[in-house]
Amino acid sequence: MFGKDNRETDTKVRLLQEYFKTKPAQSFLMLIALVWSVYEIGATSLANNSALTKEFMHSRYVIVWPMVDRKAKLYHYAEEWTSNILDGIMHLDYENMRISSFPKKWESEAEIYYTLSEDKYADRVYFFLDEPISRAYTTSLEQNYYLISKNAAVIKEETGKTVEQLGQEVGHAREEFLSALGKMKILRLVYLILRMIVLLLCIRLSGQRRKRKENEILQNG
């Protein structure tokens, strides 16, 4: 049984070696396309929620977000893009969640906060996608108050809600957004896999077409 498996493996290796010898340019291009695609698929699969959110906050995804979830709206302000510093900044609204992603050159995480009413200038609770809700915080007089029992009195006075209420409200909003983010991730993975297949097929067909032309030239000559 093992001998048969070894023979089959040796045969496949010989075929690959022969393919690389007879079609070096095509093999090289296919190898580059394969490595590039596998890298992007792996990076997307292993990325955390913050990195995925920042990746999906580019102008090319403006139409994609509403298709995946109608609650999501990705946009930018034209006046911001006239500034060298803010050029490329994007905003994503998801119900009461507001997310701002600065240009990649800043190498910073997207800023995320939850507004306590439909008014975008209402009190805000800042939080992170990959950290516990207890790391969420409100800001008052340039001081951060985390959603922990020690700050219960201040948070109640500032927001009119208890720490538990705010934690549940923000946690629920985050879970809903992460569900939409998961759909975006699946969509990108499907796109990357299909793109890899199409690239490999195009390279292969291009090589076959070139080979046919060479044979025609030889026959006519």
* 182-195 average pLDDT score: 95
Which of these ranges, 8-12, 72-76, 78-82, 93-97, has the smallest mean pLDDT?
8-12
Q: Which pLDDT belongs to residue 104?
A: 65
Q: Which pLDDT belongs to residue 142?
A: 74
Which of these ranges, 76-85, 147-156, 186-195, has the smallest mean pLDDT?
76-85
- pLDDT digits 0-9 by tens, 192-207: 999 989 888 887 776 6
DSSP H helices in the chain: 2-22, 24-46, 49-55, 64-68, 78-81, 152-159, 163-220
Please give the structure tokens belonging to residue 122: 């209402």
Look at residue 107 and give its three-state secondary structure: coil
Q: How far apart are CA 121 and CA 176, in angstroms?
A: 22
- pLDDT digits 0-9 by tens, 88-126: 899 999 999 999 988 765 556 788 999 987 766 668 899
Look at residue 161 and give its three-state secondary structure: coil
Domain boundaries, the chain: 2-220
Please give the structure tokens belonging to residue 147: 């959603």
Picking from 101, 85, 2, the residue whose alpha carbon sits closest to that of residue 52 is 101
Does the predicted TM-score (pTM) go above 0.85?
no
Q: Which pLDDT belongs to residue 202?
A: 81
Q: Which pLDDT belongs to residue 2?
A: 46
Buried b (16+ CB within 10 A) or exposed e, 133-160: beebbbeeeeeebebeeebeeebeebbe
pLDDT of 81 > 60? The answer is yes
Q: Which pLDDT belongs to residue 95?
A: 92
- pLDDT digits 0-9 by tens, 130-182: 999 999 999 876 788 999 999 999 989 888 899 999 999 999 999 999 999 99
Termini Cα distance of the chain = 51
Q: Which pLDDT belongs to residue 163?
A: 92
- pLDDT digits 0-9 by tens, 25-76: 667 777 888 888 899 999 999 999 999 999 999 989 999 999 999 999 999 9
Number of H helices, E strands in the chain: 7, 7
